[in-house]
Structure 1
Amino acid sequence: MKKVTIMDIAKKVNVSKTTVSMVLNNKEINVSDETRKKIFKSAKEMNYIPNTIARSLSTNKTNTIGIILPDIENPFFAMMAKTIEDTAEKLNYNVILCNSYNNTAKEEKYVKLLISKLVDGVIFAAGGKSEHNLNILTSNKVPFVLVDRYVESINEYSGVFCSNEQGIKLGVDYLYSKNKRKIAFVTGHKDLKIGEIRYNAYKKIAEELGVYDEELIIRDDFTIEGGMNSTKKLLALNKKIDAIFYSSDVMALGGFKVLIREGYRVPKDISILGYDNINISYILEPELTTISQPIYEMGQSACELLVNMINGTTENLTISLNPTLIERDTVS
């Protein structure tokens, strides 16, 4: 079936192609209100869809942004994607969502795809060592904003982050206040900057409190499976553990499942603390105690910052938000 064009509308209304184009693009033109109404009515009846690529070539803008997230299966990023999309819609922008699965090769593929689609900008949550992919965006003069995930040269880029050091300190101090001294810590792999930042923050505060134990540090994927694997490794050590601090809620969900299967009572036998405060965390029974990141505020701020950069109303800017402790039922 042939695509409806501006020429088809022009023939139906009996006006020139230029007249239809200028009316549909809300440009100044001397036509009657009746003709204007006929053009819009015909466009609607004929299911006309504008050629955004052609329009972007003349305006140098597509009103489309890309989002590259590391794992859309993680409710943290699903919630963030929803917030970005809602904010973008209010700002009259469309969204193309890409899921990298924490794979930098996939990131590169999507970066190049988004550039080829002439997006106006990109919101980027890094899946690993992503400097090369950010350099591709920079070389092509595509504005971007980092969100949640750090990269090595963080000071060079705009971004929206929640203080990981503060969040980890909140968690360790809280567990210590509950007389937990045998604390295990589960974090991401070393090649993931945010996992290393959370580990370094944990090590610093745990050493200061005299509760650091290298054997009780486990690294794995920020996934439910990663949490399950990490917990099995901890239990296999046959060491006294009175609390496990998971540096993501999805890891905590996996760990919770293993502990229950192995006959542990949470929190009576082992307390668990999560990180993120995803919406599933309060559905568990007992409900998950966690460090809350302001996910909606992060997504909204990232989108608004990117649009301001696209419009030239702001330059590189880093926004730092604060985490909070959410006391529920998995720490006693």
Structure 2
Amino acid sequence: MKKSKPTMQDIAKAAGVSKATVSMVLNKKDDCISEGTRARILAIADELNYIPNSIARSLSTNKSGTIGIMLPDITNPFFSQIARAVEDAASDYDYNVIFCNMDNDIAKEVKYTKLLVSKLVDGVIFVTGGRSPESVKILENNHIPFVFVDRHVQGFEHYSGVYCLNKDGSYEGVKYLYKKGKRKIAFVTGDKTLSISKLRLEGFMESAMELGIYREDWVFYSDFTIEGGRRITEKVVATCDEIDTIFYSNDLMAIGGMRTLRAAGIRVPDDVGVMGYDDIAISGMMNPALTTIHQPIYDMGIQSCRLLVKHIRGQLKKQKIIRYAPEILERQSI
């Protein structure tokens, strides 16, 4: 015969208290209950392996103690580092986390947004801002707080978010390379439709033009992956035999590029210097270690969670935007 699951009534009976008292202890509303009674109830709950019905509690309180994280690609170390930071911060606030991997698919993003609403999440963090205004409107219409990380959604620029100044990073990166004697710099940016690609390209162009070293035919487009870096570097090598540096607008592309250069017998940094952007963990483990534009990835994740919790708790009277200044992290690839 199947054994029934333990209930609050079972705990109350074993502890010799009312079900209401058990409920108050398990829901941490036990200020008026003695420490001895509280400890006895928790010990019995643990002994019985009691697991509260979070769905029932969510329906009664309209709070689930859960936040959702929308990730464009969980395999990208930049996004996974942010996700880890959010999870760490959420744990400090006693929130659970639901991860949604969108695979850069707008339809999937909308589907997951609706799923999170149905799960009664208390708030949502869009890593890289999401790509669909529809997703954001779904949350707004259901009065669910949300925060952007890394980039915003068009039309929601003034909503709460945590960003790094992407244009400033590439702008300062070119100035750094120029001081290092580099004059023939190819730039590899990402998907043309992404705001982050546009900002990093704008910073590069502005700085290179000011210094008189900009060449339009030395700007290349790819995607923010190792494979994207490998493919585009083959094109760069085939068409630009004069360059002394390749500035990639993310570290994954730079890592793919370094592999391609090595396979072609091109030494880094002796023949061609390589610069990345983001400072993901693996960039410092490359040989040579990758010089890059550092973003405080973990801190951005922590701050996004703290910001969301403040929204959930009604502690912010208006939207808040946090901006970080990127820094050049000099290693051995230049």
* Residue in 1 that maps onto 2:251: 249
Aligned twin of 2:311: 309
Residues in 2 aligned to 1:291 and 1:28: alpha-carbon distance in whole angstroms: 49
Could you state the TM-score of these two structures normalised by the residue count of structure 1? 0.93
Are the aligned partners of 1:63 and 1:94 in contact in 2 as well (CA < 8 Å)?
yes
**Pair 1:325 & 2:311 matched:** no
Match for 2:72: what amino acid? P
Contact 1:101–1:127 under 8 Å retained in 2: no
Task: State the match for 1:52 in structure 2.
Answer: 54
Tell me what 1:72 maps to.
Answer: 74
Cα 1:29–1:166 change in 2 (3 A) is: closer
CA deviation after TM superposition for structure 1 residue 127, in Å: 6.8
- Alpha-carbon deviations, 1:69-115, whole Å to 9, x = none? 11221111111111111111112211111111222122112111111
Q: Partners in 2 of 1:213 and 1:226 — Cα distance? A: 22
One-letter code aligned to 2:301: G
Q: Distance in 2 between matches of 1:165 and 1:71?
A: 23
| Shift, 1:317, TM fit | 0.7
Distance 2:7 2:235 in 1: 62
Pairs within 5 Å for 1:62-211 = 62-126=64-128, 129-211=131-213
Shift of 1:238: 4.4
Structure 1: unaligned runs, 5 residues or longer: none
The total of aligned residue pairs comes to 331
**Cα shift at 1:292:** 0.1
The amino acid that maps onto 2:131 is: K
Partner Cα separation in structure 1 for residue 92 and residue 38 of structure 2: 26
Provide structure 2 residue ranges, at least 5 long, that are not aligned to the other structure: none
Change (3 A) 1:128 1:112: closer
**Aligned residue identity for 1:97:** F
- Higher mean displacement: 150-159 or 269-278: 150-159
- Aligned alpha-carbon RMSD (Å): 1.9
Residue type of the alignment partner of 2:238: A
**Residues 103 and 128 in structure 1, CA contact (< 8 A), matched pair in contact too:** no
Q: 1:222 deviation in Å? A: 0.7
Say if 2:172 and 2:207, in contact at 8 Å, map to a contact too. Answer: no
Of 46-55 and 286-295, deviating more is 46-55
| Paired letter, 2:327 | T
- Where 1:119 maps in the other structure, the secondary structure is coil
**Aligned counterparts of 2:154 and 2:33: Cα–Cα separation in 1:** 57
- Following superposition, the deviation at residue 150 of structure 1 comes to 2.9
Q: Any idea what SS the aligned residue of 1:156 has?
A: coil
Per mean C-alpha deviation after superposition, the further-off stretch among 288-297 and 145-154 is 145-154
> Residue 47 of structure 1: SS of its match in structure 2?
coil
Identity %: 53
Q: What secondary structure does 1:215 align onto?
A: helix
1:205-261 CA deviation, whole Å, 9 max, x = no partner?
222222222222221211111111111111121441111111111111100100001
Query: Which letter maps to 1:268?
Result: D
